[in-house]
Amino acid sequence: MSALELKPIARIRNGYEDKFGIPRQPGLAAVRSVIVFEPEYRVREALRGIEGFSHLWLIWVFDRSQREDWSPTVRPPRLGGNARVGVFASRSPFRPNPIGLSCVRLEGLREGEGGLELVVTGADLMDGTPILDIKPYLPYADSHPEATGGFTDETPRQTLKVEIPADWRQGLTDEEAQALTDILSQDPRPAYQRDPERVYGFGFGGMQIRFSVAEGIARVTEIRRA
């Protein structure tokens, strides 16, 4: 086998319009995503029994992070963007085969324009990302709470407090406010930028969000609807 050709079976729909803003690992924000099957795979029977599983694996394509060449080492944001680790010791998108792996929570099934769709939370995929496979999460084979997490063990995640001033909060639904809080609490700034004066921006759910971070607090400074 020299090369393998794969076809997307589905695409994810959510508000993540920008790479900047997406949680760096799945499960970190309760943002709701919908998995819409490609026409060829809109077969209800293919999902029979899936509602019995609380979690699913998504295997997907880093379609907006592809580079011509691969680099043996990467600089994970978790290490401040300076230290290098091997690409196979990281979950970096810049890999020989640009495949992503994410565990999401299955919230339910719904009838949508694309037939039967899956509603999930915790996905770290940009809007429109092609999905290659969906598998049930099997706790007896997949759950290893005792596993050691290499460099990620030594650099615990820092979360931020989030402030959305009332002027901006009033324009948001509760779900939008929750999603935005989750996203900002994960500190979506590029790892090597730590300037309290700086205003950062990203797109989410049809909005342009601007925020700054000082003393452990992410404060929304502007929300503009597209």
State the residues that interact with its own copies by CB under 8 A. 1-9, 25-28, 41, 43-50, 52-55, 57, 59, 61, 63, 72-73, 84-91, 95-97, 99, 101, 103, 130, 132-153, 157
Cβ pair 112, 94 in contact under 8 A: no
| Other Cβ atoms closer than 10 A to 208 | 15
Q: In this complex, which beta carbon is closest to its own copies, that of residue 111 or of residue 140?
A: 140
**Cα distance between residue 117 and residue 141, in whole Å:** 26
Q: In this complex, which beta carbon is closest to its own copies, that of residue 30 or of residue 85?
A: 85
Q: Minimum CB separation from its own copies for residue 91, in Å? A: 6
Backbone phi, then psi, for 224, in 5-degree steps? Answer: -125, 130
In single-letter form, the type of residue at position 64 comes to: R
CA dihedral 200, 202, 205, 211 (to 10 degrees): 0
Q: Minimum CB separation from its own copies for residue 201, in Å? A: 26
Residue 214: both structure tokens together = 């000082």
Q: In this complex, which beta carbon is closest to its own copies, that of residue 101 or of residue 214?
A: 101
Q: Minimum CB separation from its own copies for residue 85, in Å? A: 4
Q: Minimum CB separation from its own copies for residue 44, in Å? A: 8
Q: In this complex, which beta carbon is closest to its own copies, that of residue 58 or of residue 209?
A: 58
Residue 107: both structure tokens together = 């919230």
